[in-house]
Amino acid sequence: MKSLRISFVITLVCLLHAYATSHSIAGDNVQSSTIQQVLKGRSHQLTYLGKEKIPNLIIDGQPSRIHTQGIYVTSNSLYVTGRLERSPKRALFLRFNRQDLSQFEYLDVTPSSNSEQNIAPGQDHPGGFDYDGRSFWIPVAISKPHSPTTIISIESPLDTPLTKADVTTAFVVDDHIGALAFNRHKKLLYGANWDTKAAYVWTPGGVLRNHIFRGELIPDQPNWALAVQDWKCLAGGTLLAGGYNKDPQRDISLSRAVLDLIDIEQQKLLDRIHIIDPEGNDTSLTHEGMTFFNNEIFLLPGDLGDNACLYRYRLEVTGD
């Protein structure tokens, strides 16, 4: 297990270094210097740094619970997608001030039903999302399998007020898409449907380039069954996926909370790590939001307004 973790993190650090180098120009404020420093070591591990409690939310004068799904982190902001759990339910995109998490703003990104655009009513569940250097890409679906999804593009420079953001409907998909990742090099979107029984590859204009069923996604591991909640694209078309392991033949001694490195072009699982709640709770830490920034992995497993906490892990050198 130790060698698996070491292998995972070495591979991950290399990919994050490539990501940081190519994406710092886009204004993500990613510091590649710390990642280069980690590469000097021979063995590595994920080290738990702690958690930050996100204060309960007041929206329109009411205490509010938001069912979270995806996250994205910069030095100054925490971005979150989630569904406002009140009637009517609404899809929200939120930005928190990382220096004071009680300070937040949000956009209502619930698509309006439109028969001409094939936008069905009831699309109130936003999913895992990614940023392309200029815009956020967010899927908003009905909360059930095989339901339609509207892909939303939100043009907004990082760490700027959402009041200046430009929200547009990019395209509509006839399936429930729970997570999106963006390949900046190839200008492609990767989508995972409900329980990741299929993955999709689109252009930003919605042209379908590939539709990969789960049995074909990792063909040398027929029992692979990761229900991806949030994933991000690293260099070379590699995806860092956070999710819940639903393999019925899994080792039950291992946590269901999983981070997978997936080469979606070669259709291979590069590495896997199981994350155990550092406090020994039953929480599946990858059940909702997952992202990375600099040398850290961030996880948001709980609903906002319900004592949610943002968990942080560091990639650490353990020896020469």
188-204 pLDDT per residue, tens: 999 999 999 999 999 99
The predicted-structure confidence for 7-41, as pLDDT tens digits, reads as follows 545 455 455 544 444 443 334 543 333 333 333 33
State the pLDDT at residue 91. 94
- Asked if residue 114 is part of any domain, the answer here is yes
Structure tokens at 207: 């042209």
Helix ranges (DSSP H) in the chain: 2-23, 32-38, 214-217
Query: What separation in angstroms does the CA of 154 have from each of 25, 132, 163, 171?
Result: 20, 10, 11, 13
The predicted-structure confidence for 222-263, as pLDDT tens digits, reads as follows 899 999 999 999 866 789 999 999 999 888 888 899 888 888
- Asked if residue 306 is part of any domain, the answer here is yes
- Asked if residue 244 is part of any domain, the answer here is no
Q: Where is average pLDDT lowest: 89-98, 245-254, 309-318? A: 309-318
Domains identified in the chain, total number: 1
The pTM is what? 0.86
- Asked if residue 270 is part of any domain, the answer here is no
State the pLDDT at residue 12. 52
How much is the average pLDDT of 73-100?
Answer: 95
- Asked if residue 284 is part of any domain, the answer here is no
Q: Which domain holds residue 98?
A: 2-193+289-319
Coil, strand or helix at 89? coil
State the pLDDT at residue 34. 35
